[in-house]
Chains A and B, each alone.
Chain A
């Protein structure tokens, strides 16, 4: 052992790592060239990307935005860029983009679907982002009526009469619940609401035609407006229906469970397209003679039922994942079934099933394109119609690329939101 002077009293400054171990070089070595196979894969991928860019870039660079037909497009490309040059013909999008967005909605009324679309975000904001004031949620409640009135037109008293049904149900429920049991009050309230809708709402709405807008028939709906109308309505109704079905499937009551299981398994066992065929061919046979209601409404009903069965299974997964202690604790607090469900069970079960719920939403939105098969002109139906037009016969990439981009933006946006929500609601149990 040496004396006290032989060891250092201060720490040495850390030396900089060697150049090959830092910065970009190190990153390249670790992530792209860590081994021979990896290096080979990197080179192959780079070659593939280069090949793709080399083919796609000229196509974009030579694009034509102003032409009346595909032949005209090709002539312009030949003139400007020489024989054999490839180029995109985005003129078709320029000519038809209004149709893609609004279908055959009257041109001078485009402001109505646009306004409804903007208001949709105002209505969604307080639901999507909890930081906003809760009072805004009343607007979300009113939005379906406003949207219906804006899109289909007619007097504002029609949606108002529908809302009046809910108000009546609430009043009746309060009046009866004061005198009798909760269950009786519920039954009477629902009966009163249905009575109002079936027999009184129509005459009352006709008697008071206020704020009348020019009516627009369902046959003029198309394009992305149609997809959004079906998709958003389906999403809005399939969640509550799915919750009810999931609760029914897990209930102790034999008949209720059987009915829910039967419904869910039936719907999940058949393709959506068969249900849409039922909507377009058979629904009139099942209903009283002479009933004939709107094809869009029929489609919305079927899409909603379809999505609600999948939603029920997702939520059932969430319910099953909740620890048994939560149910018992709710019982021990003396909460009745609905209070326990609303305050203790559902908030946790829904949080667990967010990814599944959003996936179902995305699936539903993509499935709205199936209406093209029963002859509605959604974006895909429109592409088929445009390709059948002699002017645009033979156009492929531009049309499908445009529609695919629109759907991609919506669906990718939804999945990003669900990831944000998951991160936000994670309470650190894991």
Chain B
């Protein structure tokens, strides 16, 4: 009964969508806003990756909110799992030597790759969130491979806070320098397609990369601890 009603409801929604989707032709011209970003983005922000210039400059405030969403989730996850009963520590079978050494060998390389991704966010595909996810994947590898290793909660909390604060402070400096504009790109734009270009974008992406990496690693840490 319930499934029939659900399907009828969905069919009704689908009919509504079909009527409107015909007016959004697929694969045609860019919107006015998108076209402006592609045409003017290089001059106005100095980043050769236009998506990055949209994410951090034109729509930087969204990204601040996005960073906050992740922060809320990490904090909330900690709060939800904080009041659990203390369980006795179970004996964990240690990993074999090959696995253990392999994971420890790969760990710094993955971190390096993640760092490369978020430092070059304004030049190549990628950025702080992607790089942060890669950094967090290095920690998963260590959790799975080298059992019993944990990241320090103090360090991850500090990095999270500092990452968020850097974003806000850079924005406020822009406000102070430019007079009226929060998140103003106040640093020199530099030469296109070089590492030191695009003003505040690399600074923000490095802060985001560290923050996202430590947050995702913290989330995984909490969930792993719970499932043991």
User: A and B: partners?
Assistant: no
